[in-house]
Amino acid sequence: MTTDSGSSPPPGAVRRAWAALTSARGLRGVTGAALVLLWIIIPSGGIVRLTGSGLGCTDWPLCENTSVIPAMDANAWIEYTNRLLSGVVMLVVVLAAIVVASSRVATAATRIAAIIAAVATVGQVPLGAVTVVFELHPLLVASHFVLSLVALAAGVISFTGASDVAQGVHRAIDARSAWLAALGALALITVLVSGVLTTSAGPHSGDPDVIERYGTLDAAAYWHVRAVILLGVVGIIIAVVARGRRSDRGLMLPALWFIPLFIAQVVIGEAQWNLQLPWQVVVFHVAVAGLVWGVGVAALWRLARPITSASGAD
């Protein structure tokens, strides 16, 4: 019996494709794609807030009342485009979680991280609806950003785990290294929280008609600067202590990238403050913040988990 050209692929081809996707290299590819998208959505969401487009679409999930497609308005299309991109990110991240959870070669930590990334990404949907309903309350807008960073951190851990599997590298928690990584994580989170609070107090509410802010900008910026200094000091301590693990490329690569990214973030932060926070500069600060966070999480995760054996599978 013949089949037409529009028929479904044979089950054998589907099984082979799925086997390739759930293999060590397949895991690295799908988690890497999810990770890139989880970072892209951070500056995308920042552009929505910084251009005053947060209420460009006043309804959810529709844009305006009964209309799915927004009117010919720049702010509406900026918000709508971010919603469409968010949908793509959610689909890819959920797919990655399904692939990782189904894979026989993925570690437990990699599976858990992939699932957390998917749950956090899906959670952005109801949180976005609530944020619109409450007309961009600064703490709800801030929680949107924080949840994006939670998803990004989980995506980083999922990708690093998949990369280790692809390279035949096995790691285990080391108590002494874990304490140092925990100190670094605390400093990194402190910078994150203080930065989010500074944003909540700043002039970019997400819509010109929304004037409610949380706290005062000068006070928030004062503590944020000191948190950044603390992170720099802790980073130096970690670099000195971890210098004996130069052969661990999985640790050294993100650690070395962290240094120029951190310096760039400080320079951009100082520039945006002196220029009175123009949105075009602030959006770079948001984008680089995502990179600093992601690279920092990767370095700290690998710091806490030294290599125990390596077979060089890749």
Mean pLDDT, range 20-40, rounded to an integer: 94
Alpha-carbon distance values, 8 to 15, 22, 220 (Å):
13, 21, 58
DSSP E strands, 2-157:
none
169, β-bridge pairs? 310
Asked if the model's pLDDT at residue 173 lies above 50, the reply is yes
CB 164 within 8 A of CB 250: yes
pLDDT digits (tens, 9 = 90+) for 80-125: 888 889 999 999 999 999 999 999 999 999 999 999 999 999 998 8
Helix (H) or strand (E) holding 105: none
What is the predicted pLDDT for the residue at 95? 95
What is the predicted pLDDT for the residue at 1? 44
Q: How confident is the model at residue 2 (pLDDT cuts 50, 70, 90)?
A: very low
Where residue 137 falls (left for φ over 0; alpha for ψ -120 to 50; beta otherwise) is beta
User: Exposure string (b/e) for 239-254, b if CB count within 10 Å is 16 or more?
Assistant: eeebeebeebebbbeb
% of the chain at pLDDT higher than 70: 88
Mean pLDDT, range 158-175, rounded to an integer: 93
d(CA 65, CA 79): 15
Helix/strand/coil (H, E, C) string of 176-243? HHHHHHHHHHHHHHHHHHHHHHHHHHCCCCCCCCCCCCCCCHHHHHHHHHHHHHHHHHHHHHHHHHHH
pLDDT digits (tens, 9 = 90+) for 181-222: 999 999 999 998 888 888 777 665 555 555 556 667 788 888
| Euclidean distance between the first and the last CA atom of the chain, given in angstroms as a whole number | 43
Question: What residue segments make up the domains of the chain, in order of their start?
Answer: 13-310
CB 310 within 8 A of CB 172: no
What is the predicted pLDDT for the residue at 219? 85
Mean pLDDT, range 46-60, rounded to an integer: 79
Main-chain phi, psi angles of 67, to 5 degrees: -100, 130
Closest of 47, 51, 139 to residue 86, by C-alpha: 47
d(CA 254, CA 296): 7
Least confident of 12-21, 27-36, 66-75, 278-287: 66-75
Q: How confident is the model at residue 73 (pLDDT cuts 50, 70, 90)?
A: confident
What is the predicted pLDDT for the residue at 276? 83
Taking the model in full, what pTM does it have? 0.88
What is the predicted pLDDT for the residue at 9? 56
What is the predicted pLDDT for the residue at 312? 63
d(CA 14, CA 158): 25
What is the predicted pLDDT for the residue at 213? 60
What is the predicted pLDDT for the residue at 212? 57
